[in-house]
Structure 1
Amino acid sequence: MDFDAIADELYGMPPDAFTAARDRYAAAARQAGDRTLAGKLKELHRPTAAAWAGNLLVRHSRDQADALMQLGANLRQAHHELDGAQLRELTRQQHALVATLAQQAVRLAAEAGRRLGDTARREVEATLHAALADPEAARAWSAGRLDKPLTAPVGFPGVSGTATVHPLRPSAPASRGHRTGRAQRGKASVTELEAARARRQERERAERVERARHAADQAQAACRSLQQELDQRQEEADQAEQALQQAAQEVENLKVRLEEARAHHREVQDDARQARKRLRDAEQTARKAERRAETALSELEGHQL
């Protein structure tokens, strides 16, 4: 039994079928003596609807998935280089491709028998944005084994707004001719003020980004905690459902055994009735034979006299 092959199969299944199939594989691994594999399989979590749809998208639209990851690499490069024109063009492509892929995920999920709601669709879009923003997220998504949607970092173009480049205002070229020392000092003061203003704006922007990142980290931590609780509750619900199915099967088995016992009881009753009838018949025959014997004995005694 190969872990990767089993994991690929499990995460390609609808979420409703995941837990039972995982447990069957884990049980088979234990029976085969491979406790390591069984333990790894039990650690796999049931995917949410959005994560499952994202996995379907990777499996059925490999070319478009590769295009999205290449677009993400280009976006990150433009973001790093503060190339405003390139960012605007790539962000336009990003919106179009994410919308197309999200709609395709909805269609694939519907074809597989599950309708995605608005929340799940937004989570699919968030996963796509995360794959664009973060190479690690892109690799996780492209593996097709997500158990929950991904979240893009705050501040990435197309997630919290298109990045804006604020270049410093270039100073005017020095003109030839007569300049007074006062004018030169005035120009230098203006340049210093602009530089100081730009630095202050950059610090304020960095502080806003840091606050937003901190808030995003807290929100992600809360989401992870809630997701863990949801996974636990889902696991408990799956176990309860299995226990209910087992109990129902036991009830059916008991019903069958009860019906068999009743049928056997009826057969025994019939046999008992027939045995009692044979006993009565035998008793009557015995009495008749006894009377004949008595009659014969009386006749014999009469002849002897």
Structure 2
Amino acid sequence: MEEALAAGNAVLAAQIAALKRPTLSAWASNLLVHSEPQQVARMLRLGERLRQPHRNLNRAQLRRMSRQRSTLVDALSQQARSLAAEAGHPIGQAAQRKVEQTLQSALADPSASEQWASGRLVKALAPPTSLTAATAAVDEACARSAAAPHQARAGKPPSKPEVPETKSVRKQRRADEASRKPAQAQREAEAAEQRARRREEEHDQAQAEVERAEAALRELQQRATRLAQQLHATVELRRRVRNDLDDARRRAAQTDHTARKARHVAETARTHAERLTTRGSRSPAGQR
């Protein structure tokens, strides 16, 4: 932007100033993509595997994929944090969580995966609607894999026995409801965390826009100062040239008067000389 302003290209400078500057978490994610191409390829392959149907995989394979997902996300988020620190802009835990959120989103959604792999993110990718779509797929496949042997042995889905709701049944039902409450609370906490992260991203984006506007204003103020200095120097130079012009005109007027006077004296002297010459040629001595 400074180079564009120095070159006098205000349009280009305005276009550069209008470009969105990435948030710190998005910058760290981009830095990771550009610095670790092999890890990027590994992430893309794992994301494709996680998004594929898992009906033919056994429980051990599904669990292994789930562990790979968690291990890779943790490792890459730590790597992004280390790269950011080495680049002179360390990130905190909140920004690192947003990097993890971006990685989870890249694993869950092919469009998000392409955005992340481009290395041109402006802000962290939004979290998936669940923990991740890929996580849900793997967990669902694990559940199917675990239930399949029991269903195969029974030959048909187990039916719920019709048992009257005795005191023990009511007690068991209440216990079941109580056991479901922590899971519901966990889901609500996760939803609240996702909303908080989105609000933090919105704040980061707004703060980045403030910083861009402040930087553009500083650049314009500096340019205005330089232009004011140039204008002042031009006005001073014009004053000096005008004074020089006035002096030159006065000298020209004086020399014109002097030149006219000298020309008059010269013409008078020549006329006098001519008269003396003519008179001498007419004298008697001249006739002899």
For the criterion TM > 0.5, the same-fold answer is: yes
Out of 12, 28, 33, the position equivalent to 1:24 is 12
Which residue of 1 is the match for residue 76 of structure 2? 101
Deviation, 1:216, is 2.9
Q: CA RMSD in A?
A: 5.4
Does the Cα contact within 8 Å between 2:127 and 2:194 map onto a contact in 1? Answer: no
Which residue of 2 is the match for residue 117 of structure 1? 91
Per-residue CA distance 1:189-215 (angstroms, 9 max, x = gap): 9x9689747843563244224422441
Judging changes above 3 Å, is the alpha-carbon distance between structure 1 residues 87 and 274 closer, same or farther for their aligned structure 2 residues? Answer: farther
In structure 2, distance between residues paired with 1:193 and 1:146: 54
Which residue of 1 is the match for residue 228 of structure 2? 251
Does the Cα contact within 8 Å between 2:32 and 2:79 map onto a contact in 1? Answer: yes
Which residue of 1 is the match for residue 281 of structure 2? none
| Gaps in structure 2 of 5+ consecutive residues | 148-165, 277-288
Matches within 5 A, 1:1-305: 24=12, 45-72=20-47, 89-90=64-65, 92-94=67-69, 96-102=71-77, 104-105=79-80, 115-118=89-92, 120-152=95-127, 155=131, 196=173, 199-200=176-177, 203-255=180-232, 257-258=234-235, 260-262=237-239, 264-265=241-242, 267-279=244-256, 281-282=258-259, 285=262, 288=265
- The letter for the 1-side match of 2:188 is R
Judging changes above 3 Å, is the alpha-carbon distance between structure 1 residues 85 and 104 closer, same or farther for their aligned structure 2 residues? Answer: same
Identity of aligned residues (%): 31
In structure 2, distance between residues paired with 1:86 and 1:193: 39
- CA radius of gyration, larger in: 2
Does the Cα contact within 8 Å between 2:123 and 2:201 map onto a contact in 1? Answer: no
- The letter for the 1-side match of 2:104 is H
Deviation, 1:95, is 5.2
Does the Cα contact within 8 Å between 2:85 and 2:91 map onto a contact in 1? Answer: no
Count residues with an aligned counterpart. 243
Which residue of 1 is the match for residue 282 of structure 2? none
Does the Cα contact within 8 Å between 1:106 and 1:115 map onto a contact in 2? Answer: no
Which of structures 1 and 2 has the larger relative contact order (alpha carbons within 8 angstroms, sep 6+)? 2
Normalization by structure 1: what TM-score? 0.53
| Gaps in structure 1 of 5+ consecutive residues | 1-15, 29-41, 169-188, 300-305
Normalization by structure 2: what TM-score? 0.56
Deviation, 1:148, is 0.8
